[in-house]
């Protein structure tokens, strides 16, 4: 579901509008700033636990919440799409998940932190797909649904906050239908790692729309997307609000313009899919060998 604020239904008295284009990385920076400003997150940073799971958007979130620069953001992601293929970071390059207690980084594992979770603690996990109804899901190549498989049982049972930063570039027609069409054992051929799309039940989606609203009070609407020559995945948004809100929004846009793209990782688990003649399971076996995954009936 989409994160909703009290401002969502307030109509501006003398509305003016602005049209803005955000590249993928600019959207990630905006969304990260929006997540950092959420009351639930700010409260947990004052007194509570915050887990920042891996993901490229979450790398931006980590920078906003900790103040620490992450130079190689692709290493803060277990999986990504690169070279036009589904891929994964080698285990030796993976950066650790960040756990904050009362706003300070602590050296405890995410499973140990989750065992302490209460209603007001926050888990932040990026997503791979979102639809117009606010349904969210994340791609997972692991046989136990990856990171989200370890998070969901706890946050659902304890009604903890699951915040999902996700850009509108990841909009799909229907998340439930997309989830039914995937699975790590489902595909014979794949351009990259075969994956499942795992629904993130009860997660609160924070897109560019919610970020603009939380940070400036404007109402945002995604009206177009795409681009060329480095603007692939760009999102075009129409902003509406009072004059002071639009000025604040434009100041925010100016501050994030020129955000560098997330760089290509120096290594990835799987070579080009063409090396395997696009055989899905042969590609997954290589990931399994690197990560120590096991599946009954699958010889590695």
Is the torsion defined by CA of 20, 26, 31, 34 positive or negative? negative
What global pTM score does this model have? 0.93
Say whether pLDDT at 86 is over 80. yes
Confidence tier at 8 by pLDDT (50, 70, 90): low
* C-alpha dist (Å) from residue 128 to 25, 137, 159, 168, 198: 15, 6, 23, 10, 9
> Which pLDDT score, from 0 to 100, does residue 296 have?
56
Whole-angstrom distance, CA of residue 95 vs CA of residue 34: 23
Least confident of 37-41, 194-198, 215-219, 270-274: 270-274
Within 10 Å of residue 275's Cβ, how many Cβ atoms?
A: 12
- Mean pLDDT to the nearest integer, 21-38: 98
Confidence tier at 300 by pLDDT (50, 70, 90): very low
Q: What radius of gyration do the chain's Cα atoms show?
A: 19
> Which pLDDT score, from 0 to 100, does residue 96 have?
93
The first and second tokens of residue 119, run together, are 């209603």
Whole-angstrom distance, CA of residue 148 vs CA of residue 127: 10
Average pLDDT of the chain to the nearest whole number = 93
Say whether pLDDT at 7 is over 70. no
Alpha carbon of residue 77 to chain centroid: 10
- 38, 77 contact by CB (below 8 A): no
Whole-angstrom distance, CA of residue 141 vs CA of residue 79: 8
Give which of 46, 171, 27 is closest to 100, Cα–Cα. 46
The first and second tokens of residue 203, run together, are 């997660």
> Which is higher by pLDDT, 56 or 7?
56
What would the pLDDT profile of 127-142 be if each residue is shown by its tens digit?
Answer: 999 999 999 999 998 8
Say whether pLDDT at 69 is over 80. yes
> Which pLDDT score, from 0 to 100, does residue 166 have?
98
> Which pLDDT score, from 0 to 100, does residue 292 have?
72
Q: Which residue has the tokens 């998070």?
A: 151
State the burial class of residue 264 (Cβ atoms within 10 Å of its Cβ: 0-12, 13-18, 19+).
exposed
Least confident of 72-81, 85-94, 286-295: 286-295
Give which of 70, 68, 90 is closest to 79, Cα–Cα. 90
Total length of the chain: 300
């Amino acid at each position: 579901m989409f994160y909703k604020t009290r401002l969502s239904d307030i109509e501006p008295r003398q509305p003016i509008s602005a049209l803005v284009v955000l590249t993928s990385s600019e959207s990630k920076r905006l969304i990260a700033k929006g997540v950092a400003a959420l009351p639930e997150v700010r409260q947990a940073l004052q007194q509570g636990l915050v887990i920042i799971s891996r993901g490229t958007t979450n790398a931006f979130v980590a920078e906003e919440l900790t103040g620490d620069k992450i130079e190689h953001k692709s290493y803060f992601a277990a999986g990504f799409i690169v070279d036009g293929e589904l891929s994964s970071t080698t285990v030796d390059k993976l950066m650790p998940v960040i756990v904050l207690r009362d706003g300070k980084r602590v050296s405890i594992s995410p499973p140990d932190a989750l065992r302490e979770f209460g209603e007001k603690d926050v888990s932040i996990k990026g997503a791979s797909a979102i639809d117009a109804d606010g349904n969210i899901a994340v791609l997972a190549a692991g046989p136990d649904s990856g990171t989200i498989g370890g998070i969901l049982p706890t946050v659902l049972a304890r009604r903890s906050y699951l915040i999902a930063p996700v850009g509108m570039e990841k909009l799909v027609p229907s998340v439930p239908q997309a989830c039914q069409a995937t699975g790590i054992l489902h595909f014979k051929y794949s351009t990259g790692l075969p994956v499942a799309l795992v629904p993130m039940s009860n997660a609160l989606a924070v897109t560019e729309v919610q970020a603009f609203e939380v940070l400036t009070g404007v109402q945002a609407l995604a009206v177009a997307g795409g681009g060329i020559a480095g603007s692939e995945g760009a999102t075009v948004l129409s902003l509406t609000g009072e004059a002071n809100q639009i000025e604040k929004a434009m100041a925010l846009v100016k501050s994030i313009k020129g955000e560098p793209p997330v760089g290509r990782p120096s290594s990835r688990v799987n070579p080009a899919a063409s090396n395997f003649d696009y055989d899905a399971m042969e590609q997954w076996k290589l990931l399994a060998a690197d990560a120590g995954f096991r599946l009954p009936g699958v010889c590695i």
